Structure 1
Amino acid sequence: MTPLQRLLVVEDSESDIELLREALSDTEPDIALDVVRHGEDALSFLRREGEFAGAAHPDLVVLDLNLPRMGGFEVLRALREDVDPRLRRLPVVVFTTSTTPTDVDKAYDLHASSFVTKPTAFTSYLDTVRAFREFWLRVARLPASA
């Protein structure tokens, strides 16, 4: 079983990034956290292009839908159509404020691994992140990295 060791967060909200850091800070074993703030950088990071040439491959992506330059749906579509099988099967958790059923359906149509709506209350937000962290850390099996 491949353990969850590295997480890529694709999020443009600094407050959400800090809340994610807080919720992941007490993880045993430690999870390395990489952050990019828009979709174009997410793809460059995952493809190890340009300034991200030396980036480590994440085990899981946490993806917001509402991003500048390239939205989350476009990122998800590009990953699922990529020639690199490692990117096509990379687990992606959509983590967004949306509660729209069409957004949920579209995310799953694009093969998101899960869709989680961001709670607005601080403690609920932390509890939600910790719950999906525990699922991906202790329950789910991740694809082997190449």
Structure 2
Amino acid sequence: MTLDIKLFEILLLEDEPADAHLVRISLRDARVHCRLHHVLDGREGVDFLHRKPPYQDAPRPDLILLDLNMPRMNGREFLAAIKAEEALCDIPVVVLTTSEVERDVEASFKNGASGYITKPVDIEQFTAAIAQLSDYWFVLTRLPRENK
């Protein structure tokens, strides 16, 4: 008998390689059964969600982790763009950023973010934050599943 475990699909929009690496390691250490897809900015994120080359085989993410401060299309613009699209607006987006500015928090929630996490500077705190995030989204919360 084979167990068919569906991996959670996470899309990470992050332009800093070190932060992306920390997210990957933190998810692994938290034993989250997921596939992490990483893009560098909002334009690549939109292309991923629309399955434009080179992302034509991209899965629909169960969760998006979004940095606000990226080149080309920043996280604020990305969030507004996908929440305006009926086909994408139900994907939960958690902002994962260095910004502690209150107007960024308010704007993120106003534009449809499901959560807002300020990246801890300490690596252990960062890992703990990702573990708590994954517990909430993949253990406690029931997400809609696509049957495609």
Could you state the TM-score of these two structures normalised by the residue count of structure 2?
0.91
Give the number of the structure whose residues are more often helix, by fraction: 1
| Residue number in structure 2 paired with 1:92 | 93
Given the alignment of the two structures, is residue 61 of structure 1 paired with residue 84 of structure 2, yes or no?
A: no
* Per-residue deviation, 1:27: 4.4
* Per-residue deviation, 1:47: 1.1
| Residue number in structure 2 paired with 1:104 | 105
Question: CA-atom RMSD, angstroms?
Answer: 1.4
| Residue number in structure 1 paired with 2:138 | 137
| Residue number in structure 1 paired with 2:22 | 19
Given the alignment of the two structures, is residue 126 of structure 1 paired with residue 127 of structure 2, yes or no?
A: yes
Alpha-carbon distance in structure 1 between the residues aligned to 2:72 and 2:32: 34
Q: Structure 1 counterpart of 2:120, which letter?
A: P
| Residue number in structure 2 paired with 1:6 | 9
Given the alignment of the two structures, is residue 37 of structure 1 paired with residue 40 of structure 2, yes or no?
A: yes
Alpha-carbon distance in structure 2 between the residues aligned to 1:127 and 1:142: 22
Q: Structure 1 counterpart of 2:80, which letter?
A: R
* Per-residue deviation, 1:131: 0.6
- CA pair 41-49 structure 1, distance change in 2 beyond 3 A: same
Q: Structure 2 counterpart of 1:98, which letter?
A: S
| Residue number in structure 2 paired with 1:115 | 116
Q: Structure 2 counterpart of 1:113, which letter?
A: S
Query: Which secondary structure does the structure 2 equivalent of 1:95 belong to?
Result: strand
Gaps of 5+ in 1: none
Alpha-carbon distance in structure 2 between the residues aligned to 1:63 and 1:57: 15
- CA pair 4-89 structure 1, distance change in 2 beyond 3 A: farther
Query: Which secondary structure does the structure 1 equivalent of 2:54 belong to?
Result: helix
Contact 1:59 1:145 in 2 (8 A): no
- CA pair 138-18 structure 1, distance change in 2 beyond 3 A: same
Could you list the runs of 4 or more consecutive aligned residues of structure 1 that deviate by over 6 angstroms after TM superposition? none
Could you state the TM-score of these two structures normalised by the residue count of structure 1?
0.92
Given the alignment of the two structures, is residue 48 of structure 1 paired with residue 57 of structure 2, yes or no?
A: no
- CA pair 100-29 structure 1, distance change in 2 beyond 3 A: closer
